[in-house]
Structure 1
Amino acid sequence: MSEYISLRMKSYFEPSHEGNWIEHKAHIDYDLWFIQSGIVNITIDGVIHTANPGDVIFLYPGVPYRASTSDMGCRFIYIHFDFEIGKQQRILNDFPLSGVISKDMIQEEFIRLGNAFYQLKLLTSLPGNRLYLKSCLMAVIAKIIELYGQGQYIGQFLNEKKFRKPTTNLDVLKPVFNYINDNLQKSIKMNELAALVGISEKYFISYFKKALGITPGQYIYQIKMNRAREYLYSKKYTVQEISNLLGYPDPFTFSKAFKKYYNVPPSKFE
């Protein structure tokens, strides 16, 4: 699924607040706060949640909150971002992840992101620093999702009535993803994929598009092009061999599909 994840950092900063700081807000983006010092209290629906140094606060878009600090003040790194899979925007809203993630659960990712932030802050002119911060943010989000999937964490900010119920479940499509990855060398038919999850072909196509925002055919095409790129980078295969490995009838058809995707023919791809 990593090919279809889109992560856009909107802004990032490190504010420091005195002991009398109070903030009432509802953000339009996802918001992660990495508490560096002091104590931050987040009040949502009258319930107070406390975050200590090393903890991470995860706020969802459109959710009003009241933030305040202790007499000692506080300092934290925040990042506003958007996250989607395929064309499914705000897909994290399908899961109760919004809350305080304790430092013992996310310490490694917390430290890595903090280092990336300070490196970017000090050396903004160096290429790649913002990209590295973005990759560290992705690692934090992946860790939170992993913790939730393993039953080790569930967000405290939104109860079951508040977060959006998913209309589709990506877990249902896992056999399809695995089958496609293992059978790129052949022509994959929609009825074969539908049979893997025990639903009709028509409903399968609709379900797949609702889950990812693209059709199964578009997904297969993109997976093949990503695999083609890997084969070309390895410099172990000819265009003819790659064409066979990806189930194209001849090198011309493969080259045409490749050029449509990358805007250059495979012979000139670097």
Structure 2
Amino acid sequence: MDTNLQHDQIILADVLSSLTIRVNCVDQAVHPKEKKVRLLTNDFDVWQIVRGRQHVSVGESFYLLKPGDIFMIPPMSTFELDILEDSYYIYCHFDMMFRHVDSNFTDMFTCAVLSCENPELAAAYSERDKPCMMLNIKSALYKIIYQYFIENINAWTPSVKIHYDKNVRLLAEYIDRHISEPLTNRLLADLCGYSEKYFISWFRKQFGGTPYAYIKRKRMEIAHMLLSKYKYPVSLVAKQVGYSDPYTFSKAFRSFYGSSPSVLL
């Protein structure tokens, strides 16, 4: 395999592993022939065309959509839709956040018609009365976004290499390895080469919360596993996840999970 392509695929896998999707709305649209629609998107849109052909213009770009197509539209796009035939499609409004890249990374997305094999968005929507519907919608969106990257590899690769922040991955790995040790903002900021003030702001943007909240969650998740799966004593678990004594650990565990750690033993 070409070395550059292999490197790009490694970056893609890492970036996608950090992707979080929030579905804002999923519904169906039915339009009669010759109808015209003009809209502005506030978030990401994905359509799966089920029936009929449509002509879409976004700025100076034009797209002819037909049954089976997946159409992706980035936020803040004004588009005009001309219905050529009686049409029916499933649409989904959603937000994306990539933990391993900065917030400007989503600006690189452009409109695209994707050739997904066996697109699952319509199938997931058809089961909207089932509790698992939203999980299936998200699963379909992950596959669509992956396909977007594959089909636009020459477009996204430079943007990823510019915005991809290796400090995020290295910092997450450091925290995992040193979870039993004191992890102060000053220490973590120095590891990244940032001032403490900038580090806290940067950390919030990349990890979705404060360093304290992120580290506490990691410690509690590890503690829960050690207690429930391996039945380690509370005193040992406390040391494993960086607490100086069982009392302080138990108090933190109770505030996080709402119950004493001893109930898992």
TM-score bucket (shorter structure): 0.7 to 0.9
Query: Displacement, 1:264?
Result: 2.5
1:237–1:40 Cα change, 3 Å = farther
Instruction: Report if aligned partners of 1:42, 1:48 keep a CA contact under 8 Å in 2.
Output: yes
Query: Displacement, 1:93?
Result: 6.8
Question: CA–CA distance in 2 between the matches of 1:101 and 1:204?
Answer: 39
Q: Is 2:19 the partner of 1:12?
A: no
Question: Equivalent residue of 1:15, what SS?
Answer: strand
1:145–1:47 Cα change, 3 Å = closer
Could you tell me which of 203, 215, 239 is aligned with 2:210? Answer: 215
Q: Is 2:253 the partner of 1:251?
A: no
Query: Displacement, 1:76?
Result: 1.6
Could you tell me which of 69, 77, 87 is aligned with 2:90? Answer: 77
Runs of 5+ in structure 2 lacking a partner? 1-14
Q: Is 2:152 the partner of 1:118?
A: no
Q: Is 2:207 the partner of 1:205?
A: no
Superposed CA deviations along residues 116-135 of structure 1, whole A, max 9, x for unmatched, are 22222xxx1x4x22342343
Could you tell me which of 30, 47, 56 is aligned with 1:33? Answer: 47
1:94 aligned residue: 106
Question: Equivalent residue of 1:34, what SS?
Answer: strand
1:107 aligned residue: 117
Look up the equivalent residue of 2:239 and give its one-letter code: N
Query: Displacement, 1:65?
Result: 0.9
1:68–1:93 Cα change, 3 Å = farther
1:163 aligned residue: none
Instruction: Report if aligned partners of 2:114, 2:148 keep a CA contact under 8 Å in 1.
Output: no
1:56 aligned residue: 70
Question: CA–CA distance in 1 between the matches of 2:20 and 2:264?
Answer: 24
Identity of aligned residues (%): 24
Look up the equivalent residue of 2:90 and give its one-letter code: I
User: TM-score under structure 2 normalisation?
Assistant: 0.73
1:119–1:42 Cα change, 3 Å = same
Question: Equivalent residue of 2:52, what SS?
Answer: strand
1:8–1:174 Cα change, 3 Å = closer
Instruction: Report if aligned partners of 2:168, 2:206 keep a CA contact under 8 Å in 1.
Output: no
Question: CA–CA distance in 1 between the matches of 2:155 and 2:68?
Answer: 16
17-26 or 194-203, which deviates more: 194-203
2:61 aligned residue: 47
1:57–1:138 Cα change, 3 Å = closer
Instruction: Report if aligned partners of 1:41, 1:50 keep a CA contact under 8 Å in 2.
Output: yes
Question: Equivalent residue of 1:107, what SS?
Answer: coil
Query: Displacement, 1:204?
Result: 2.4
Could you tell me which of 254, 257, 264 is aligned with 1:262? Answer: 257
Question: CA–CA distance in 1 between the matches of 2:257 and 2:58?
Answer: 47
Superposed CA deviations along residues 218-247 of structure 1, whole A, max 9, x for unmatched, are 221122223333444535433333322211
Question: CA–CA distance in 2 between the matches of 1:119 and 1:139?
Answer: 18
Question: CA–CA distance in 2 between the matches of 1:259 and 1:153?
Answer: 48
Query: Displacement, 1:34?
Result: 1.6
* Aligned residue pair count: 246
1:132 aligned residue: 135
Query: Displacement, 1:25?
Result: 0.6
Question: Equivalent residue of 1:94, what SS?
Answer: helix
- After superposition, residues 181-192 of structure 1 pair within 5 angstroms as 181-192=176-187
Instruction: Report if aligned partners of 2:25, 2:93 keep a CA contact under 8 Å in 1.
Output: yes
Look up the equivalent residue of 1:182 and give its one-letter code: R
1:118–1:44 Cα change, 3 Å = same
Question: CA–CA distance in 2 between the matches of 1:207 and 1:33?
Answer: 34
Look up the equivalent residue of 1:227 and give its one-letter code: I
2:153 aligned residue: 151
Question: CA–CA distance in 1 between the matches of 2:145 and 2:253?
Answer: 30
Query: Displacement, 1:138?
Result: 5.1
Runs of 5+ in structure 1 lacking a partner? 155-159, 161-167
Question: CA–CA distance in 1 between the matches of 2:258 and 2:228?
Answer: 17
Question: Equivalent residue of 1:247, what SS?
Answer: coil
